[in-house]
């Protein structure tokens, strides 16, 4: 386990942190509030989810096209659609994204944050009734998945001890996987913790949990294969994030 005060790794049976002297609470004695989904997934699961979403979109498009054929308006409607898309695409890109060395400077319609993704991210809602709602923003770069989880909590959380709260948050996020490192830091003026998790022999997770307020938490994470990890991509992703 990790010391909630200084982040040092300690023996599970230890009662006091050898680094800072803070009394440790055994994990078994803690009954955590439902902070977040155990959202750690293998890279393959994320990619399959991404591709299945694409297949669903293709099926919908095919159904629309078949309906147009049945009505006999395929040629005229397709041409109008293409012309309209051509006219609107630059406007959409200007509103939500700007080119950045092949990556995208992205801001959601809610305008709550800015971040750099390898492509325009897919948005998936997340919801724990009676605890939190939010969205996951995810984009792929090769075999790596870059995600931002945006949580809004009702009722507000107890964040009187931000370090303990963030340590618990990362443990919930890991979902039982091995936490290799956990270091406290700041995202601007907001308390945060950087972490690295080993999911299995093929997949690792690196990221940052950011405590904005008692009702708002962000989790930034990259799921990757260690042999294919590109630190400049991770640093670009993490350093680009800002809260509006």
| Range in 57-61, 165-169, 187-191 with the lowest mean pLDDT | 57-61
pLDDT at residue 201, as a whole number: 83
pLDDT tens for each residue of 227-243: 999 999 999 999 999 99
Q: What angle do CA 172, 174, 178 make, to 5 degrees?
A: 130
The answer to whether the beta carbons of residues 207 and 182 sit under 8 Å apart is: no
Distance of CA 80 to the CA centre of its chain: 37
pLDDT at 164 over 80: yes
Q: What is the pLDDT of residues 208-217, one digit of tens each?
A: 999 999 999 9
Q: What is the CA radius of gyration of the chain?
A: 21
Return the pLDDT at 30: 41
The confidence score (pLDDT) of residue 176 equals: 87
Average pLDDT over residues 3-31: 63
What CA–CA distances, in Å, run from 66 to 56, 60, 84?
15, 10, 20
84 or 124: which leads in pLDDT:
124
How does residue 100 score in pLDDT terms, banded at 50, 70 and 90?
low
| pLDDT for residue 21 | 66
Domain 96-243 has CATH 3.40.1000.10: yes
pTM for the whole thing? 0.68
Asked if 171 and 195 count as a contact pair (C-beta separation under 8 A), the reply is: no
Query: What is d(CA 113, CA 198) in angstroms, rounded to the nearest whole number?
Result: 28
Give domain limits for the chain.
96-243
- pLDDT for 18: 65
d(CA 231, CA 128): 33
| Separation of alpha carbons 143 and 154, rounded Å | 35
Q: How far apart are the first and last CA of the chain?
A: 34
Residue 13 contacts residue 25 (beta carbons within 8 Å): no
Instruction: Give pLDDT tens digits for 114-161.
Output: 999 999 999 999 988 778 999 999 999 998 999 999 999 988 999 999
Q: What are the tens digits of pLDDT across the range 29-68? A: 444 455 665 545 445 555 555 545 544 433 443 343 344 4
């Amino acid at each position: 386990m990790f010391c909630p005060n200084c982040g040092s790794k300690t023996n599970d049976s230890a009662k006091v942190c050898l680094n800072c002297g803070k009394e440790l609470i055994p994990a078994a004695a803690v009954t955590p509030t439902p902070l977040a989904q155990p959202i750690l997934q293998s890279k393959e699961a994320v990619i399959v989810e991404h591709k299945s979403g694409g297949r669903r979109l293709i099926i919908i498009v095919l159904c629309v096209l078949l309906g147009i054929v049945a009505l006999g308006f395929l040629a005229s409607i397709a041409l109008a659609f293409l012309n309209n898309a051509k006219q609107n695409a630059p406007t959409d890109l200007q509103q939500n994204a700007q080119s950045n060395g092949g990556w995208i400077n992205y801001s959601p319609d809610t305008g709550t944050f800015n971040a750099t993704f390898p492509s325009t991210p897919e948005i998936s809602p997340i919801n724990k009734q009676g605890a939190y709602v939010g969205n996951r923003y995810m984009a792929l770069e090769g075999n790596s998945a870059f995600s931002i989880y945006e949580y809004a909590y009702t009722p507000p959380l107890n964040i009187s001890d931000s370090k303990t709260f963030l340590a618990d948050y990362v443990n919930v996020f890991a979902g039982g996987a091995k936490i290799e490192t956990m270091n406290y830091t700041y995202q601007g003026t907001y308390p945060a913790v950087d972490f690295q998790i080993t999911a299995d022999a093929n997949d690792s997770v690196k990221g940052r949990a950011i405590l904005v307020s008692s009702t708002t938490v962000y989790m930034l994470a990259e799921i990757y294969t260690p042999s294919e990890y590109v630190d400049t991509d991770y640093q670009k992703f993490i350093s680009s994030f800002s809260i509006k």
